[in-house]
Amino acid sequence: MVNLIGTYECKVDAKGRLMVPSALKKQLAPLIQKGFVLKRAVFQPCLELYPMEQWDEMMQKINKLNRFKKKNNDFIRRFTAGVKTVEVDANGRLLIPKDLVGFAGIEKEIVLSSAINIIEIWDKEKYENAIEAASDDFADLAEEVMGNDDFDGIS
């Protein structure tokens, strides 16, 4: 299982390339050979970068859905819309395709934020707004999600 750590600020050039920060590149080193999948996020105006192994696990789950149910087909179509395979090049850069740059509203400054086993790629301003908007009710959310008496592991 991959457990990525950190939030990193960097810039995207006019072609949509970003230099993967060295601390993140070290964490991704064992995964770089297999490549990555880049997709639109479901709930936020950002992108999600899946290491290929994580993507394959997700696809195994999704492949179990009954495709003779319209909702399942609709979900699969929407979930995989705009999905691209991407690689970190020899110079440590990652190319974000133009359509995904547009979806996420990426300008020049971005944030790469670890989300356990994937990396979220945000326009910096949108990321800061999302963090600010979520801060007001984070205590309530934490209690609801993690405060379950049956939850085992975090105190």
Specify the pTM: 0.88
What does DSSP assign to residue 35? -
> Quick one: which of 107, 101, 106, 121 has its CA closest to 36?
121
Q: How many domains is the chain built from?
A: 1
- Domain ranges, residue 56: 7-146
In a domain, 1, yes or no: no
- Indicate the pLDDT class of residue 1, thresholds 50, 70 and 90: low
Q: What CATH number should be reported for the domain holding residue 17?
A: 3.40.1550.20
In a domain, 2, yes or no: no
In a domain, 154, yes or no: no
Q: pLDDT tens-digit profile of 14-64?
A: 999 999 999 999 999 999 999 999 999 999 999 999 999 999 999 999 999
Q: pLDDT tens-digit profile of 106-139?
A: 999 999 999 999 999 999 999 999 988 877 777 7
In a domain, 151, yes or no: no
